[in-house]
Amino acid sequence: MATAGAGSYRNANHRNSLNNKVDKNLSVNSNPKTSLKSKPSLRKSAPASLGGAGKDDSGVAGRVRVAVRLRPRNAEEKVEDADFSDCVELQPEMQRLKLRKNNWDSDTYEFDEVLTEFASQKRVYEVVAKPVVESVLDGYNGTIMAYGQTGTGKTYTLGRLGEEDTADRGIMVRAMEDILADVSPETDSVSVSYLQLYMETIQDLLDPSNDNIPFVEDPKTGDVSVPGASLVEIRDHQSFVELLRLGEAHRFAANTKLNTESSRSHAILMVHLKRSVKGRDSILSTEISNSSHMVKTLKPPVVRRGKLVVVDLAGSERINKSGSEGHTLEEAKSINLSLSALGKCINALAENSSHVPVRDSKLTRLLRDSFGGIARTSLVITIGPSPRHRGETTSTIMFGQRAMRVQNMLKLKEEFDYKSLSRRLDIQLDKLISDNERQQKAFEDEIEKITREAQNQIAEAERNYANALEKERLKYQKDCMESLKKLEEKWMMNQGKDGDETGKNSDVSTNEEFARLKNLLQKETLVRKAAEEQVNNLQKQLAQSKTAEASGNSEILKLRKMLEDEKFQKQKLEGEIGRLHSQLLQLSFHADETRRRLDRVDPEKVLGALDSPMHPGRSQLNDLENGEKTSIANLFEQVGLQKILSLLEAEDADVRIHAVKVVANLAAEEANQQKIVEAGGLASLLMLLRSSKDETVHRVAAGAIANLAMNETNQEIIMSQGGIRLLSMAAVHAEDPQTLRMVAGAIANLCGNDKLQTKLRNEGGIKALLEMVRCRHPDVLAQVARGIANFAKCESRASTQGTKTGRSFLIEDGALPWIVQNANKEPSPIRRHIELALCHLAQHEENARDMISGGALWELVRISRDCSREDIRTLAYRTLTSSSTFQAELRRLRIEC
């Protein structure tokens, strides 16, 4: 506490000298007038606007600033390194660091800032990040990056939220506080994107479904952007903290020997800032045509765009120290490759090389603006004091030394805001249009009124004319009827009363004969038409029959040719199957011979030989393994994957067994996994589990499925095709421990997928794991414990995000008694996984009562006190102290945590 207080006092009393030192380090030719703090001079060096005519691309040179921060010893180092002194000695007043080679010799390195283990988070922010944040507020690009070994405090330095203690806030939170305090909500905007670079793919931490995002490079300026990422506008500090918490929940992490929550991806926070420059608008008024209206000519407002990039690099690690295996090993390889590519770029820039290998990695392409570009960059390298990690500490220090030699050319990003001007002109145009429409509507209303009055007058005149016309018509009709009536009476009087009856009868018979002949003629006409239609139909049917006969003959010829081709292909395939059969038998013989030679060697002797890099046993084993892989690769190239997969359905049992062994060996290589799935290999392996009763086939097929289940996309395919039910059935009928180990490993990999939790449990995945503990073989139990730990971790994450409520599925399916029973047993891998599972289960408050009644509380107390690993011990302690239910039970039992 005294040291921390002294540090704060030193910051308060020497703020002016510290600012002068920062300005001096960032200046050109050590001239204070061109420093970051001297904003008018900086703008004078780059006065041009990116959006205006006559722009100038000249900028201000600025070296990459590097600070080194030492992490204090942790509990494990205090115990194991108690008899050894620290490998580094800091001289903060001289900005120097000494790296001890031995007790009498050391190397000295100078940095821009040297931060001891007692340096506060506030001081780290002020000397590392604050100058960069001020540059971003002035319209420049800025980068803040942390580099160092796993577990040295990079994420603590950058991403600490400080919700429990505000003094612990990291650079991300403090930078956003300064930005929000300086911008104006009415005219400025702040937007944030949060990404992670995982296994050479860019993923959106704010939207996990948005993965494998492409990035775009401007061919003219070289600027790199990620248009597909979520861009969230920030209005207040609390919303930014919620975004950081959401992003950290989606970031990939794993448990290693160096760190319980080791970051497995590079986290990249991008803050886009847009600020309006006041005092740059002018309004000119002129009178046109002696009118009283003023015409305003507007110049577009000027805006400055700054971008702050905060990069939390994943920690570099050595595999033999971190203990990575399986998918975690592949993650470590990807991390080390990307960091190696970044180091090569730094070396090339530091040596002024003509070629900088920026395109070797997506990380270097994203950071091309930060090293040798147009951004102001600050780098903080984090190191540990332990002499066991002297090699990693040396590598980190040399990375920082080379980075200090990289020069950037800072450029002001200023442009005209044509969008704002366009919005203002649109508003004026809308107003003029509305006034014109209002006047037009008034004119149309007047015209409509006049038209309506005229139409009323016309209608009245038409009604009067129609009435007069109707009266005249009725009058003339009446006169006409009277005249007709008089004529009819007169005709009737003149008509004779006698008629000729004979003439009348003759007329009637003639009419009847004419009607009969007419009916006969009509009937004959209808019959003739029907006969013509029938003849036409018969002719059409005859033509169709001839066409069908011709097409049938051609089809018969085609079928004969197809039968001949099929016969030839069948003979060719039979020959290939015989050749494949012989190759598979030879390959299986080599693999079995290799396994027999390895089984004859004592496992303890093999492990001892492998610990010595010069021991001949290691080269012999490597030769055997390389020979087998070479044989498989040669077979894969010569035969082809599709033909190998076709042998999985062969009727010969030996051929089927050898084929599934070859597929399992191919699935062990990550490069082949996608090809196997796309070619239908996964479906064939699941079909073998369903149809075959041979335990050897089950063992090898389960091992191949376990390798394929390391990929998230393959996991969803396995679940959709009923893979859990098939693996559970294989576990029920299996007796061989190796078969059970393969099945348990496949289910354990599926347990690590957040999206498949509910489906995996509903299809019996948890019960299948618990069923396999009957074997009691350590390898099987280790895979079971790993699967339970993966499932508990995913459930804990889902509960934290609010997507999972209620008790844990593990507790509901009866896994808690076995977890408690084996929490303190050897071997250590089983115990470590079970201890992690207990800690993750305890993080959800709804599991607390069941864990207390099941005896898990005592195990949590033991873990928090006696666990050999500090990270698990700390996690158990934090879980106990954060749960009100656990605290109440401990007080009742009078136990101090």
Helix count and strand count (H, E) for the chain: 35, 21
Closest to 813 (Cα-Cα) out of 832, 775, 779, 787: 787
Query: 702 with 739: CB under 8 angstroms?
Result: yes
Query: 104 with 378: CB under 8 angstroms?
Result: no
59 is in an annotated binding site: no
546 is in an annotated binding site: no
The residues, ordered by sequence, that sit 6+ positions from 292 with a Cβ below 8 Å of its Cβ are: none
Q: Helices 723-733 and 737-751 meet at what angle, rounded to 10?
A: 150
Q: Which residues in 299-311 are b (16+ Cβ under 10 Å) and which e?
A: ebbbbbbbbbbbb
152 is in an annotated binding site: yes
Is the torsion defined by CA of 404, 408, 412, 413 positive or negative?
negative
DSSP summary character for residue 323: T
547 is in an annotated binding site: no
The secondary structure of 98-166, three-state, reads: EEECCCCCEEEEECCEEECCCCCHHHHHHHHHHHHHHHHHCCCEEEEEEEEECCCCHHHHHHCCCCCCH
Closest to 729 (Cα-Cα) out of 712, 716, 714, 747: 747
Separation between Cα atoms, residue 891 and residue 879, nearest integer Å: 16
For 468, the enclosing helix (H) or strand (E) is helix 418-494
391 is in an annotated binding site: no
496 SS3 class:
coil
34 is in an annotated binding site: no
Separation between Cα atoms, residue 684 and residue 688, nearest integer Å: 6
The amino acid sitting at 730 is A
End-to-end CA distance of the chain: 24
155 is in an annotated binding site: yes
CA distances from 357 to 332, 341, 343, 606 (A): 22, 8, 10, 41
154 is in an annotated binding site: yes
Bridge partners of residue 311, in order along the sequence: 145, 268
For 558, the enclosing helix (H) or strand (E) is helix 501-600
Residues tagged in the binding site annotation? 148-155
Residues tagged in the binding site annotation for ATP? 148-155
